[in-house]
Amino acid sequence: MGRLITILIVSAACALTYVKFFRADEPPPEPPAVAKETPVAKLSRVVDTQITQVFSALDGKAAPAPVHQLRQLRASLADARPKARDEQAMYRTAIELCDTLVDAMRERERCNLSLRDTRSKPYATWQTSERQAFFEGGIQRRWLENAASYHKRVDVLYKNLRDYERRLLPPPNPGPAGSESVSKAS
C-alpha cells in the first residue's frame, strides 16, 4: 500500500511538472492585420533607394543592381492589372518604368564591362596613359549620354506614377481614429 501511494505521488508530481513546464500555453493572439504593400508601392520604394546607384558614374566595378527584384515586380504588376481604366494606366506606367530601369542597368553593366576590359589590356608603355584615357573617355561619354536619356525617361515615368498613386491609392497611414472626433468637438 505504501508503494502505491508513492507511485501515485510521483505520478501526480510528474503530471503537475508536465502541465506547468512542458505543456504549451494558449497560442499568442495574432498581430493586427497590416495592409499589404502593393507592387506599385514596392516599385516606388526601389526607385527611391536605388536611383542614385543606377545613374552614378562608372567605376569599372559591378554596382549592386536590383535587376532581379525589378523583374519580379514587373511580373507581379503584369499579373495584378486591375480592371479600372485609371488604375490600368498606373500599372502600365509602372511596367514601363520597370522596363526602362532594367534597360538602364543593362547599359550600365555593358559600359562597366567595357571599362574593365579596357583597363585590363596591356598597352605599350609609352602609349599606356594616352590610349587608356582615350578609350576610357569614350566609354564614360557614351554612358553619360545614354544615362541622361534614361534618367530623363525614368524621371517622367516616375513623376507620372507618383501622380497616379496620389490620385488613386489611399494614404498608407490615415492616423489615429479618434483624432478627428476630438478636433471636431473643440
Write down the pLDDT at residue 173. Answer: 57
Is pLDDT at 186 greater than 70 in this prediction? no
Reported as a single tens digit per residue, the pLDDT across 77-136 is: 888 877 767 788 888 999 999 999 999 999 988 888 888 887 777 655 545 677 777 778
Which three cell numbers mark 82? Answer: 486591375
Q: Which of 110, 122, 128 is nearest to 60 (CA)?
A: 110
Amino acid at 157: L
Is pLDDT at 14 greater than 60 in this prediction? yes
Burial 159-183 (b: 16+ CB within 10 A, else e): ebbeebbeeeeeeeeeeeeeeeeee
Write down the pLDDT at residue 131. Answer: 72
Report the pLDDT averaged over residues 24-47: 71
Residue 101 contacts residue 49 (beta carbons within 8 Å)? no
Question: How far apart are the C-alpha atoms of 153 and 132, rounded to whole Å?
Answer: 31
Q: Using a pLDDT cut of 70, give the percent of the chain over it.
A: 73
Write down the pLDDT at residue 157. Answer: 94
Which three cell numbers mark 14? Answer: 510528474
